[in-house]
Amino acid sequence: MYKIKATHIIAFINIFIAILMFISGVFTEKHPLAQTLLFLKFGAQYGPAVSQGDWFRIFTAMFVHGGILHILFNTYALIYFGSIVESVYGIPRFISFYFTSGVVGNLATQVFYYKSLSVGAS
């Protein structure tokens, strides 16, 4: 019997959000300001927005990706390396490690790259 892995669930969520972003035109928008606004709509991290109370962006930015190649390479790495980590340490530890790493990375971005738009969990 096939056992569902946390890595596959996270990958599915990432791909689902990427499809929604593609449909909404995020990846094909030519005007930089319009594209930035679309990224923000999907939960990208932006320091000033977080400082004004959008703390959810510290978490949601992990599921937002900057383009097709970004989602493809991150999904490949997640499934390949994440499956190994999940097998060795178990699902609860893997999930804890994955989300803690993503949140800490986004908090570091909040401090060191305050005015930059940030997406992804890598």
Position 1 pLDDT exceeds 70? no
Structure tokens at 78: 């997640």
Residue at 87 is within a domain: yes
Residue at 14 is within a domain: yes
Residue at 1 is within a domain: no
CA distance 51 to 35: 21
How many domains are there within the chain?
Answer: 1
Structure tokens at 57: 């962006």
Instruction: Outline where 1-122 has alpha helix (H).
Output: 6-24, 32-41, 47-51, 57-60, 68-89, 91-112
Position 2 pLDDT exceeds 80? no
CA distance 111 to 23: 32
Of 96, 111, 98, the C-alpha closest to 45 is 111
Q: Are the C-beta atoms of 45 and 110 separated by less than 8 Å?
A: yes
Domain that holds residue 35: 6-118
| pTM of the complete model beyond 0.75 | yes
Position 13 pLDDT exceeds 70? yes
Q: Give the pLDDT confidence of 92-109 residue by residue, as tens digits.
A: 999 999 999 999 999 999
Q: Are the C-beta atoms of 119 and 61 separated by less than 8 Å?
A: yes
Position 121 pLDDT exceeds 90? no
Three-state secondary structure call for residue 118? strand
Residue at 64 is within a domain: yes
Residue at 47 is within a domain: yes
